[in-house]
A and B are shown apart, each in its own frame.
Chain A
Amino acid sequence: MVTLKINGKEHQVDAAEDMPLLWVIRDIIGFTGTKFGCGKGLCGACMVLMDGNAINSCQLPVSLAVGKELITVEGEQENLQRLQKSWEKFNVPQCGFCQSGQLITATALLTSKANPTEEDIHNAMGRNICRCGTYQRIKNAINHSVELKNKG
């Protein structure tokens, strides 16, 4: 039994220590917003926030997530909700499958850098693949989110 704190709530789960956090979240706890894309740390579909950092949950043994603050796309975080609004405004998703991961990565970016440069955006978002090719809208939506925040 391990205890995980996800989106502000504690979950007791019966999982092998080496099971990646992704599968604990999806198959045992049942939050399906966090996606499986590659299982190898290559695509970012499985991103969650762990103590504010975006991590590929397919690569993290669940034992290392114990005692951490975990936030998924279903969770609450000021930047996440602002970004979700911008995502809607810019009609970002196509199939949408990569978007939870994109949003989590962007949330971590804006949490560490309130006013990212284009290069910051490229470096951070370079971890996430979008096969549908929504990158331009993602970039615009991130910039819009920054403007929204700066306007207050």
Chain B
Amino acid sequence: MKDVQNVSRRSFIKGIGLASGGLIIASGASLFNSCSVETKELIAFNPNLFVQLNSDGSLILVASRSEMGQGVRTSLTSVIADEMEADWDRVRISQAVGDVNYGDQNTDGSKSVRLLYEEMRKIGAATKAVLIAAAAKKWEIAAEDCHAENHFIFNTQGDKIAFGDLVEIAKTLEVPEEVQLKDPKDFKYIGKYLTSKDVKNLANGSAVFGLDARLEGMKFAAVKRCPVAFGKVVSFDKTAALKIAGVIDVVEIPMIIKPFGPLGGVAVVATNTWAAFKGRDALEVVWDLGDNKAYDSEKYMEEITANVHKKGAVVKSLGDVDQAFEKASKTIESSYQLPHLVHAPMEVPNAVAWVTEGSCEIWAPAQEPQRTRTEVSDFLEISEDNVTVNVTFLGGGFGRKSKPDYVVEAAAISKAINAPVQVVWTREDDIQHSYYHTVASQYMKGGLDENGKVTGWLHRFAFPSIGSTFSPGADEPASWEAASAANVPFEIPNMQFETGKAPAHVRIGWLRSVINIPHGFAINVFADELAHEAGIDPLEFRLNLIGSDRIEETQNDYKYDTARLKHVLKTAAKNAEWGKELPEGHAMGLAVHYSFLSYVASVVEVSVINDKVKVHNIHSVIDCGLAVNKNTITAQMEGAAIFGMSLAFYGKITAKDGAIEQSNFHDYQMIRMPQVPNIHVEIVENSERPTGVGEPGVPVIAPAIVNAIFKASGKRYKNLPLMDYKLV
């Protein structure tokens, strides 16, 4: 890592002063690292925390959110560059350390662009305004007679001056608080297909991921953790481990009962990762397995399934479902079981920590750099000012890396051995000691009248809540978890949503798309079952269910517009040529879902031949408001299709005697190249406020596949993964 040996960024952060929740747009201070050191030749202008214009014209823009493949570094900085009228080729991106002065940095919930789009625009526009003022001052003319274009300021006489040549004057001027934003029709980068700024370094091996961080004298560590969540170390014997060549030390690390506290265990420290792994294998540890040792996820599924087959706690009710079912000419019931999942980002959890007297520096693939900083400072009992969190590239996150338990482990080990250390999880550790996507059982009942219209809709669900990670013992869904089912925008006069009890026995966490995976599955498969019972084409049936154009009530200030929902569905159907003649054994299925404030529909074409399923085509459509970078949005939708296929066909984590049974990619499989269908993505053009992109593409895939399989084979598979039915 290049700048590790240089001056720490800590000193710059100290200079910032008071923390604030929002962005400090006009702060003169700089959080820039050593690349910003001024020399005689190079003068730097920092109008705010996100921009540094150098006198040679080079422009450094700061990305405050973590890059994990969603293209956020490019998307956010391109917005600044656009408003600034900067030349994109002159832009370099600098990654922010974890610091409240950047505002919220939690890279989670598909909200980075949504929440920062306006701020980034203002930052770019304010910087441009100062440069215009600087040129006006130099030319001694009015600012109104100047305009910015492609890294220059022009005046009405046709003179021009380069951005870099204005740095010295710009430094002396006030940065305006009120700024004029561009007319969107003049956008140069926003709304286009930009290639990632990082693509070259990601393709030549030079991008630095957490796992690639290297410090002088750095040691490597692997941790043996209890196979059962929250089990404790009783005793351990390090003799055999210490005999392994390269092993230096064995230290116990504490369990911390906090949402993101480490599980605790015994760490083996070595001169290289391999020796640390071998030493860890050689350790003898006696565990107290604790309260979760009886967890059997198969039995648990039976329990929560029993819970959804009886009346639960009502979370929302409309009309009278019981009466609707009595009066219905037909009622149908169905239930769905979806297992635990694990993120398995390609880069395992890992972190480098260097704890010195009273301070600590971290290099980590962290989705939530500020929370990481807080957790480390709490653990070390030192002030946050003395903790620096450098954010590396993340080799995938999917929610796993917003829980910094692995970073605290690194800090604990570094403190114990008094040296910089990199803690590396094996893939087995990653799969067996994660924060798991919940396990869900759902029951649905629907009533149809004689015309095939749905008159009653009952949805019951039971799953261990993410809330259990924050308040141990919580055994019912959080309100936002229930809302993703209860907000289904169907025009049905009688609807009821109920929850059943479901205590947690492993750490439950969020995984790409979160609760929308089970809810989106049950809603979309059940709607397809109803369409079949009614004898109506699934597309027409679904459009009727959504019904009239209207704004649905939500708990946020974004409008949930049913017209947009229908539009994505119709567009996906049109793109896939829904209803067209298909080869023998082939059929299409569809699903539509609103999540992370975006609207997504997918139409999937499968074939079922000799009881084996193959996915041939996926047509996905997303309406995420104004599309900031279409290249990355398309890529996210393509990736979401694959992520959805992996969970549909293979995703299954089970526990027996409290321990996770899967361990690596042979028993927690992923879609691979030979199974990849043609994926077609359309992004709806509009100028609404930008909404989520990274996650909303996932929930529709599994139900669309299941619906297509039904159409092709007449068989309805209601539980995931499909490998359990030997379909792959």
A residues with CB within 8 A of B: 16, 19-20, 23, 26-28, 30-40, 42-43, 45, 72-74, 84, 87-89, 91-100, 103, 121-123, 125-126, 128-139
Contacts and interface: CB of A to CB of B under 8 A. Distances in A.
A94 to B, nearest CB: 3
A19 B673 contact: no
A142 B638 CA distance: 17
B396 A36 contact: no
B61 to A, nearest CB: 19
Contact of B211 (A20, A32, A42, A98): A32
A81 to B, nearest CB: 9
Interface stretch (B169-177, B345-353, B596-604): B345-353
B618 to A, nearest CB: 10
Interface string B59-77: 0000000011111000000
A123 B206 CA distance: 28
A82 to B, nearest CB: 12
| Top 3 closest pairs, chain A to chain B, by CB | A33-B205, A133-B642, A97-B395
Given A33-B206, A37-B427, A96-B207, A137 B635 contact: yes
B346 A131 contact: yes
Contacts of B202: 93, 96, 99
B274 interface: yes
B203 A99 contact: yes
Contacts of B632: 91
Interface string B630-652: 01100110111111000000000
Nearest to B673: A125
A64 B257 CA distance: 46
B396 A133 contact: no
B582 interface: no
Contacts of A20: 274
Contacts of A30: 214
A94 B71 contact: yes
B129 to A, nearest CB: 32
Contacts of A43: 346, 427, 665
23 contacts: A19-B272, A27-B272, A27-B273, A27-B274, A28-B272, A31-B205, A35-B347, A40-B666, A74-B205, A92-B199, A95-B346, A96-B202, A97-B209, A97-B395, A97-B396, A99-B203, A100-B205, A121-B673, A123-B674, A131-B396, A132-B69, A133-B639, A133-B642
Contact of B346 (A72, A74, A98): A98
Given A43-B665, A130-B346, A136 B678 contact: yes
B665 A42 contact: yes
Given A20-B274, A27-B220, A129-B346, A38 B673 contact: no
Given A32-B212, A99-B203, A94 B673 contact: no
Nearest to B212: A32
B347 A97 contact: yes
Contacts of B245: 16
A74 B643 contact: no
Contacts of A138: 673
B198 interface: yes
A120 B357 CA distance: 57
Contacts of A73: 204-205
Given A28-B272, A39-B426, A100-B205, A95 B347 contact: yes
A91 B631 contact: yes
A32 B665 contact: no
Contacts of B665: 38, 40, 42-43, 129
Contact of A95 (B69, B274, B674, B676): B69
A93 B396 contact: no
Contacts of B643: 131, 133
A97 to B, nearest CB: 3
Contacts of B424: 36
Given A84-B203, A95-B69, A125-B673, A136 B638 contact: yes
Q: Which of the listed residues A43, A45, A72, A74 has the most CB atoms from chain B within 10 Å of its own CB?
A: A43
Contacts of B674: 122-123, 126
A26 B273 contact: yes
Contact of A72 (B205, B208, B679): B205
B347 A88 contact: no
A19 B274 CA distance: 7
Interface of B: 67-71, 195-196, 198-200, 202-209, 211-212, 214, 220, 245-246, 271-274, 277, 344-348, 393-398, 424, 426-427, 631-632, 635-636, 638-643, 664-666, 670-674, 676, 678-679
Contacts of B209: 32, 35, 96-97
Contacts of A91: 195-196, 199, 631-632, 635
A125 B211 CA distance: 24
A33 B204 contact: yes
Contacts of B211: 32, 35-36
B629 to A, nearest CB: 10
Contacts of B68: 95
Q: Chain A at the B interface: mostly helix, strand, loop or mixed? A: loop
Given A92-B203, A129-B665, A134 B638 contact: yes
Contact of B673 (A93, A95, A135): A135
A95 B393 contact: yes
Given A72-B205, A95-B396, A87 B676 contact: no
A36 B348 contact: yes
Contact of B638 (A33, A74, A133): A133
Q: Which of the listed residues B203, B204, B211, B666 has the most CB atoms from chain A within 10 Å of its own CB?
A: B203
B606 to A, nearest CB: 17
Nearest to A75: B205
A130 B396 CA distance: 10
A91 B190 CA distance: 17
A96 B212 contact: no
Contacts of A26: 273
Contacts of B204: 33, 73-74, 84
A139 B676 contact: yes
Contact of B427 (A39, A97, A130): A39
Nearest to B214: A30
Nearest to B245: A16
Q: Which of the listed residues B70, B347, B397 has the most CB atoms from chain A within 10 Å of its own CB?
A: B347
A93 B199 contact: yes
Contacts of A33: 204-206
Given A27-B220, A84-B204, A95-B393, 20 more contacts: A32-B211, A35-B346, A36-B273, A39-B277, A42-B665, A74-B205, A87-B199, A91-B635, A94-B69, A95-B68, A96-B198, A98-B395, A99-B203, A129-B672, A131-B344, A132-B639, A133-B639, A134-B639, A137-B635, A139-B676
B274 A132 contact: no
A105 to B, nearest CB: 10
A40 B664 CA distance: 8
Contact of B205 (A32, A40, A136): A32
A135 B642 contact: yes
Contacts of A131: 344-346, 396, 398, 643, 670
A26 B344 CA distance: 21
Contacts of B671: 133, 135
A132 B631 contact: no
Nearest to B350: A36
A33 B208 CA distance: 9
A95 B345 contact: yes
